[in-house]
Each structure stands twice: as C-alpha cells, then as structure tokens.
Amino acid sequence: MTTRKGNDVFTGGTDGAPEGSMAQGWAGERKDVLRDEFGLEIPVEDIPLPSKGLVYPPSSPLHMKETVQIRAMTAREEDILTSRALIKNGTVISELIRSCLVDKRIDPDDMLLGDRNALMVALRITGYGSSYPTEMTCPACNEKGKFEFNLSELPLKFLEQEPVAQGSNVFEAKVDDNMTIRFKYMTGHEEKEMSKAAERKKKQGFQSDNLITTRYQYQVLAVNNITDKTKIQMFVQKMPTKISRNLRKVMDSGEPGIDMKQHVTCPSCSEESEVSMPLGASFFWPDAG
C-alpha cells in the first residue's frame, strides 16, 4: 500500500492561492477588507484525497478529483466548534469541513470517511499547527502521561483497489472459494446513521457491543448474487468467522484514508511504542487538553 507524506499542508506550508484564483474569492468583498484594511490573507490549500475521487459518481463535484481546496480556519469556524446544537446532533465536524471547503457544491457527508479524516487533519494543521499534545495511557508501563504527535507525519493511504465500475463506491472481496462479497466504504452519511442508531439503543437501555455486525450491515451490498437487505442482515449475523476475518482484511487493507498510528516515546518509562492517535478535546482546542 503506497503512502504519501509530502504535501504542503501536512508539512506546515501555507503559501495560499494565487492572486485572482477561484479559491481566493471565497468571501468576496470580505476577503478584500481583510487584506486591504488589516493586511490579513486567509491561506487556501490543495489537500489530496486518499480516494483520488475514484468512488464518486460523474454527477459529484468530487468525481475523479485528486485534491480539493480548503481555506484555513477562522473565528467563524471556532463558533462552529463550540455550537452546542451541532455537537449534540453530531454534525459539528461536517459543518466545520463544509465551512472551509472552497467548492460549496461539495457535501462533506457524501465523502468517504478517509477523505473526511484527511481534511480534518489538514484543517487542524492550518489552524493550530502540526504539533498535537494529548494525554493517554502508555501501552508499555500503563502510566498516564502527555504524549505529542506530529500531524504532518501521518501518512496518507491512497485507494489502490479498483471499484467494480468507475465512479462507484462498490468493491469486491473473494472471501471463500465459492463466495464473493460486494461492499462499500462508509461515508459521512453512514457514520451519522450509525451514531444515531447507537444513541437510540442507548436510550432504550441496550448496550452497543455489536460494532462488527453493524458495520457489515452498512457496508455489505451483495453476497454472491443476493442483494436482498433482509437476507444480507441475516447473513452478517451468522457469517462464519473465517469469512468475516477475510472480509475485514480486504476492507481494512484497502480503505483509503490517513494512518492515525505513530511512534511516540513515553515520558514515564522512555519506551517507544506505536499507538493510535486519540482524538480528544484538544485536537481542535489545543489549550483544552
């Protein structure tokens, strides 16, 4: 799987858009006031999409797009991040991305989760820099401490598996000699639906511990030639472990996105470990951790 580290936004570059470009007109006259009256320029960056736009239909503004343009966060985006209404209904990240996208035709909820995560990390870098200090437990000594991640070193994982048709979010996995499963990668819409379903179960007193089968219900589109949703739901509940493992292997290895794992050194025991970067409150609020 190829990865990519070298992109201006992931290494802290903020050269901005050229004079007179579409990106530079993100706010019309308001942009001129910032520049002419206050001497401020809001940087605009080209951010690579891990999916390379291959999964989006021709009707989508993301179709075959390898990059999208975002502008750096401003006080307006801080308002979004502190909106209790957006936080409560689980749309705060979508609205943050939507606000910073230059192309307003793009709906962040239509994007693959991997593409959304790449934009989220890029926005954090342009807003607060690439250093991300956060508290977590060391896997070596089990002590809690402050760890620091360098967001600019998180590698992108680009889509390499071809979809069954150009511009479709449909992929095939040969999970057994006699079985082929078609699946999709999750978008913001599926993530939102899963969160709402989990919240409903929580209110009803049910424990949400069926993450694997729930994921399959959203991602599995067909088993051999069977596409009936009720039958697929029954199948994923009773899927043999071997087939389930093979399917997850294909899904996890092929899913485009940004690798959140990084090697860090524990301040307590000085051991270096590879850990998954936690997304706490300090991710978008560096002083909150």
Residues 11 and 128 in one domain: yes
Residues 199 and 74 in one domain: no
Mean pLDDT, consecutive 10-residue stretches, the chain (289 aa), reads 46 43 44 73 92 96 96 91 87 93 96 95 91 87 87 93 94 95 95 79 71 90 95 93 95 93 86 82 66
Q: How far is CA 201 from CA 196, 204, 256, in A?
A: 9, 5, 30
pTM over 0.75: yes
The encoded tokens of residue 74 equal 């401003």
Domain for residue 140, yes or no?
A: yes
Q: Which residues contact 180 (CB under 8 A, 6 or more apart)?
A: 172, 173, 174, 224
Domain for residue 166, yes or no?
A: no
Residue 137's DSSP bridge partners are: 144
Task: Please report which residue ranges of the chain form alpha helices under DSSP H.
Answer: 29-38, 75-81, 84-88, 92-100, 113-128, 188-203, 211-219, 229-238, 241-254
pLDDT on residue 287: 63
Domain for residue 209, yes or no?
A: yes
Residues 182 and 153 in one domain: no
Rounded-to-integer distance, Cα 102 and Cα 45, Å: 10
Residues 245 and 133 in one domain: no
pLDDT on residue 26: 44
Residues 225 and 179 in one domain: yes
Residues 237 and 265 in one domain: no
Residues 128 and 222 in one domain: no
Give Dmax over CA atoms of the chain in angstroms. Answer: 69
Rounded-to-integer distance, Cα 239 and Cα 252, Å: 18
Total count of domains within the chain: 2
Q: Which of 159, 155, 175, 164 is nearest to 262 (CA)?
A: 155
Using alpha carbons only, how large is the chain's radius of gyration in Å? 21
pLDDT on residue 232: 95
- Residue 123: CB atoms within 10 Å: 24
Residues 77 and 150 in one domain: yes
Residues 67 and 153 in one domain: yes
Domain for residue 34, yes or no?
A: yes
Residues 111 and 198 in one domain: no
Domain for residue 164, yes or no?
A: no
pLDDT on residue 135: 85
Rounded-to-integer distance, Cα 229 and Cα 108, Å: 26
Residues 63 and 201 in one domain: no
Rounded-to-integer distance, Cα 41 and Cα 54, Å: 33
Place of tokens 């609205």: 95
Domain for residue 265, yes or no?
A: yes
Q: For 261, list phi and psi in degrees, rounded to 5.
A: -90, 145
Domain for residue 52, yes or no?
A: yes
- Show the domain range for 59: 3-157+258-283
DSSP state of 90: T
Domain for residue 242, yes or no?
A: yes
Three-class DSSP category at 272: strand
**Inter-axis angle of helices 241-254 and 211-219, to 10 degrees?**
70
Residues 115 and 148 in one domain: yes
Cα 229 to its chain centre, rounded Å, is 27
